[in-house]
Amino acid sequence: MKSRKLLLFALRLAAFAVFASAATLPVAAQGSRDQLKGAYFSTGAQACLVSPLGFTNGTPNNLALAFVQSASVQGTYRFNADGTGTAQFKELLITHPPATLAGASSSEQSFSFTYTVADDGTLTLVTGSVTGTVLTGSLTGVKFTLTDSPLLSGRIERNGTDIMLSTTDPTVEMLTLELPTPVVLPRLCHRSRILIPVHVH
């Protein structure tokens, strides 16, 4: 009889431990991938083709003025269960010759976003206007905005934790440097991001 009571107690304790563990996972990790909630650490890379005079069918309107930027980023995405979220990042940017301002710089950036999750676990993320400040390099202190960023899409792992995103369609976005006379730089970028959960509200 005593051994039966001990067995029942052990089973209840095990069930409580499983429930407590599940309660610390993101919503998606508990078997529902149609909503996400919590913070995800993110790291990734990108490259951009910049054309000050714009593009025609993905080709710079003046090849002599076009140049390339590449970057690595790390930061945090915060997902709300209602399909919205915010993100904060730091970026290390390399502007390659023959650009006039070729060299290295860093910046901090933030933006809001909306997202949807399909039945198969495909996540689509729409980035709002990005605002940032250059921290190092020849433009230190200059503020900037980035608009018309392309969609990020990818898959949520079956356990609802890791997320992998990338751009799939070329989209002309606008980088505006807030100098005394604003400078607008159209560019085409490809991006990849890996997101790992770090905290749940």
What tokens were used for 46? 């990108």
Q: Which residues contact 135 (CB under 8 A, 6 or more apart)?
A: 90, 105, 106, 107, 108
For the stretch 94-152, pLDDT in tens is 999 988 889 999 999 999 999 999 988 899 999 999 999 999 999 999 999 999 999 99
For the stretch 148-185, pLDDT in tens is 999 999 998 866 678 999 999 999 999 999 999 999 99
CATH number of the domain bearing residue 167: 2.40.160.20
**Number of separate domains in the chain:** 1
For the stretch 54-96, pLDDT in tens is 999 999 999 999 999 999 999 999 999 999 999 999 999 999 9
Q: H or E segment at 191?
A: strand 183-199
User: Is the backbone of residue 137 left (phi > 0), alpha (psi -120 to 50) or beta?
Assistant: left
The predicted pLDDT at position 111 comes to 97
The predicted pLDDT at position 35 comes to 67
Q: What is the DSSP letter of 62?
A: -
Cα 110 to Cα 144: distance, rounded to the nearest angstrom: 11
Handedness of CA 168, 130, 200, 34 (dihedral sign): negative
DSSP letter string, 140-181: TT-EEEEESPPPEEEEE-TTS--EEEE--S--EEEEEE-SSS
For the stretch 25-53, pLDDT in tens is 333 333 344 568 899 999 999 999 999 99
Domain that holds residue 169: 2-199
pTM score of the predicted model: 0.78
- What rounded mean pLDDT belongs to the chain? 84
